[in-house]
Structure 1
Amino acid sequence: MSKQRQYTLISLILLIVLGLGGYFWRDDSPAPAPALKHTYAKALAMAHNGQPGAARVLYQQLGRSDLSAIRRAGLYAELPNYPSPLALKLANRDLQHDDPLVRRAAIASIQAMLPGAQRSLALGPLLDDEEQSVRFAVVDALLGLGPDDIGLYFGPLQHTLEQYQQVLAQQTDDPAAQLHLAQLYLHENSLKEAAAALDKTLQLDPDNLQALAVKVQLLERQEQTDASRKVLADALQQRPDSAFLQHELGHWLLRHGQDEYALLAFARALELEPDNNEYRYTLATTLHQLEQVEPAQKQLETLVSRDPANRKARVLLIEYWKETGQMQNVQVLLAQLEQLNPDDPLVQQGL
């Protein structure tokens, strides 16, 4: 056989071997189904936008076992607007999830769905979680509850709170950590320690408006009313168009019995940030407190129309309609809520 024919034969054999290798070694595992990805995105969008059937698809996605941790956590951000026994079951199950991100997301969701003592019973066991960030998330979720609500977990909670404070205290160059430390101390009424952490925060970040708000609360707790008012006044003089500061001024005025002036501040905050749902909700509750029921209802109607998923606003509007005996409007809102989540406790309760 000539050398040329030998080379040709060898080349053909190599091509056959490479072809067979490509056949046997190719990846036969199915590619991620585009429809499945779309299902997740669609479910998240439906829940966020308050579309009919949102609860059902949200629960279906949380029932999956193949979601990434960050996607699963994203679903839990929406779950508090869709409470039900199944929602709590899903969240409780994920308190044992392998990924701390998911456990923390489930904790935040349960915090929003459960009142005092029930929340403590659900989350208290995680004060022994192996992951520090999860234990600290439980502290944040249980802060503000009374000893009776915390019950058997009072001791473990205090122990973990002290650890939390120690860790934050070591982060001396992080204004967010120092601010949170000040808030934890303020919760515990440790005013001297709170003041020190707050001073450190403002040294690191002098324009931190949230820190200024906490400073106002601290001064009030220290019975320095004039000083707290001056802090707010000085800040507003520098930033007259700050919706946040206007909102804080409204709360300060409410705390000091000046409800009508508070209403003006809340209205100004909403004027500056008309898309802020929190500001609109606060304005509505203040209007109602001042017996301006119809304007309060209109603010909540606007809020629900802009944010149909906002269960808190919808439930409050139902209460306001009931107060004025406008049961037809109540029935409409309940029907809409049933479309969103037929297992919602308020739907089950009915009129």
Structure 2
Amino acid sequence: MPRHRRYLIALLLLILVSAVIGYLSRSDAPTLAPALPPHSYGKALRQAHEGLPGAARVLYQQLQRDDLPPIRRAALYAELANYPSPKALELAKLDLQHGDPLVRRAAIASIRRLLPAAQRSLVLGPLLDDDEQSVRFAAVDALLGLDPDAIGLYFGPLQHTLEQYQQALEAQPDDPAAQVHLARLYLHEDDYPQAEAALQRSLQQAPDDLDALATQVRVLEQQGQHDASRQVLAKALALRPDSAFLQHQLGLWLTRHAQAEYALLAFSRAVELEPENTDYRYELAVTLHQLEQVEAAQKQLETVLARQPANRKARVLLIQYWKETGQLQNVQVLLAELERQNPDDPFLQQGL
């Protein structure tokens, strides 16, 4: 047989053997759907944070993954409240059963913002019996402030877990933040002596702690000591007149005491000192609107959305303000942007 034919036959046999080996080694398991590309998590998180089109869809996709580390999964819940829908709530509810407490706490915080108060206890009440203490305490924080009717069957478990929470914080007298939180828990129960004691422990450790000062103002107010509460703020502001936080707290105090005109000055100063703080700017917009300065209020909310397009609360409020002034073209623009972000947003069902 000619040599070239022998080479040709050997080559064909080699190809045939390779094909047979490949066939036999093939798995009978069904082919899995291709995994999301490694960069999709970061891209989705950025898309949601920046309020880009399709943000809700990619955020939901990431929450349906089962291969994310807990810290990455928890980070998604910081964005979810801006993209409410039945699907968003379903995903958050599922993660109330997640194996990692970090994820369960993140889901609780998200549901706290997704659900109105009247519906919250039915979803979060069972977490008051969670095996992990930090999860139980997160559930308490999410349910505090609800009236007994809204808490319903979970009133007893809430009180029991609240007492555990207070005991745990009492055991941390050298932690200023823990003592401020403890004071707020006592304030919720109108237990003013205990709240004041916790604040004193906090201020002994950190005399300039602004959260402690703000809580002290509320404790005095709720006892009817309005002049004393104002003096606490005035003293703090005298020492730190350029504190945006204190200016904002002054604005809130004035608002609670029906002095919106003066609150406007405080809120404006807070925004001037900290222009990137969209919470301060939102409060300024609400006060401007209350004083019938609607155009100025709209401009503040436009600034918020220019910096945070995903800020649903500001978007919904601006839509309402523009509806009031009959600027329906602007309303349509904002609604169209919202639909591109999250076509299942319940607010879209209201139309114009």
1:197-212 equivalent positions in 2, closer than 5 A: 197-212=198-213
Distance in 2 of aligned mates of 1:41 and 1:211: 36
Q: Identity percentage over the alignment?
A: 73
Distance in 2 of aligned mates of 1:41 and 1:234: 45
1:194 aligned onto 2:195: yes
Supply the AA of the counterpart residue of 2:291.
L
TM-score, scaled to structure 1: 0.89
CA offsets, 1:246-301, max 9 Å, x none?
Answer: 00111111111211011000000000000000000000000011111111011111
Distance in 1 of aligned mates of 2:329 and 2:43: 32
CA offsets, 1:18-56, max 9 Å, x none?
Answer: xxxxxxxxxxxxxxx997331000000000111111100
Distance in 2 of aligned mates of 1:343 and 1:174: 43
Secondary structure, aligned partner of 1:83: coil
The aligned counterpart of 1:185 is 186
Distance in 1 of aligned mates of 2:125 and 2:227: 40
The aligned counterpart of 1:335 is 336
Distance in 2 of aligned mates of 1:349 and 1:288: 22
1:89-168 equivalent positions in 2, closer than 5 A: 89-168=90-169
1:211-250 equivalent positions in 2, closer than 5 A: 211-250=212-251
1:308-323 equivalent positions in 2, closer than 5 A: 308-323=309-324
Distance in 1 of aligned mates of 2:120 and 2:348: 22
The aligned counterpart of 1:302 is 303
TM-score, scaled to structure 2: 0.89
Distance in 1 of aligned mates of 2:130 and 2:222: 34
Supply the AA of the counterpart residue of 2:267.
F
Structure 1 residues 239 and 34: alpha-carbon distance in aligned structure 2, compared to 1, 3 A threshold: farther
Structure 1 residues 34 and 127: alpha-carbon distance in aligned structure 2, compared to 1, 3 A threshold: closer
1:172 aligned onto 2:146: no
Distance in 2 of aligned mates of 1:35 and 1:86: 20
Gaps of 5+ in 1: 1-32
The aligned counterpart of 2:5 is none
Supply the AA of the counterpart residue of 1:215.
Q
The aligned counterpart of 2:291 is 290
Secondary structure, aligned partner of 1:51: coil
Give the Å deviation of 1:329: 1.0
Misfit runs of 4+, over 6 Å:
none
Distance in 1 of aligned mates of 2:226 and 2:218: 10
Distance in 2 of aligned mates of 1:327 and 1:165: 51
Supply the AA of the counterpart residue of 1:245.
L
Distance in 1 of aligned mates of 2:273 and 2:115: 33
Distance in 2 of aligned mates of 1:127 and 1:161: 9
Distance in 1 of aligned mates of 2:306 and 2:328: 19
Supply the AA of the counterpart residue of 2:340.
Q
1:13-32 equivalent positions in 2, closer than 5 A: none
Gaps of 5+ in 2: 1-33
Secondary structure, aligned partner of 1:36: coil
CA offsets, 1:144-188, max 9 Å, x none?
Answer: 111111111111001100110011001111111111000100111
Secondary structure, aligned partner of 2:59: helix
Distance in 2 of aligned mates of 1:35 and 1:128: 36
The aligned counterpart of 2:17 is none
The aligned counterpart of 1:268 is 269
Distance in 1 of aligned mates of 2:37 and 2:310: 23
Q: CA RMSD in A?
A: 1.2
Supply the AA of the counterpart residue of 1:206.
P
Supply the AA of the counterpart residue of 1:307.
Q
Supply the AA of the counterpart residue of 2:312.
R
Distance in 2 of aligned mates of 1:195 and 1:341: 45
- Alignment: residue pair count: 319
Supply the AA of the counterpart residue of 2:171.
Q
